[in-house]
Amino acid sequence: MTRVMVVEDDEDLRVAVSAALRAEGLRVDAAPDLASADRALAGGDFACVVFDRMLPDGDSLDYVHARRSAGWSVPVLFLTARDALADRVAGFEHGGDDYLVKPFSVAELAARVGNLCRRSGARPTVLRHADLEVDCARREVRRGGVLLTLSAKEFAVLEHLVARVDQAVERGELIEHCWDSRTDPTANVVDVVVRRLRRKLGEPELIHTVRGRGYLVGTP
């Protein structure tokens, strides 16, 4: 599941943006300041980061510029109330890939983040197994040529399993890649989603249970 980060000190805006991105099937980590973001970025593989410009512990432009100088290449979108041409130019000169002025439409933000994620190469174009086709860019799944309707979470789990064809994927790994830090790792969330997927995918069964390990798409 494609993972993004939202760094925004306004809690209401941080929650709204995170919810909009999750609705698009993205895994979202959120941070209120640069220090928290830096810790999370050190331990995660992110496809895109959304930075508010002015944060409690500094200007994110300076942070991104320093990271770019050290070879960091994750796509960045800056959010800011500053709409002067000089501010927008500074955003790009300091390593930003996109720049969105507040107030903004969350739908537009989600579209821009999705574009940056695709640009980063986080998703292959199409995954295939047997008569199953998972189009990661369009977020469409077909079996035997028939378009299926999946929820964002169902798509994320299936995408991860098909990307690991013939490999057993543990529940913990699916939680790590398809849910965010708010999810209780002891919850039975993976099994519930897999049951729904099996029902929607139909026969013959594509997702197999590997006892004591997890789930597998491919030869059991």
Q: Quote the pTM value.
A: 0.59
**Higher pLDDT pick, 137 / 162:** 162
The span from the first CA to the last CA of the chain, in angstroms, equals 23
- What are the pLDDT digits (tens) for 17-55? 998 888 888 889 999 999 999 998 887 788 899 999 999
Residue 169 confidence (pLDDT) above 90: no
Q: Which of 205, 169, 211 is nearest to 190 (CA)?
A: 169
167-177 burial by CB neighbour count: b if 16+ within 10 A, else e? ebbebeebbbb
Instruction: For residue 141, list its beta bridge partners.
Output: 134, 148
**Domains delineated in the chain:** 3-119 (3.40.50.2300), 126-217 (1.10.10.10)
| Least trusted range by pLDDT, from 67-71, 99-103, 136-140, 198-202 | 136-140
| pLDDT, the chain, mean | 86
C-alpha distances in Å from residue 217, one per residue of 5, 149, 213: 29, 19, 13
Residue 8 has pLDDT above 70, yes or no: yes
CB 171 within 8 A of CB 159: no
pLDDT at res. 185: 60
Which tops the pLDDT comparison, 121 or 21? 21
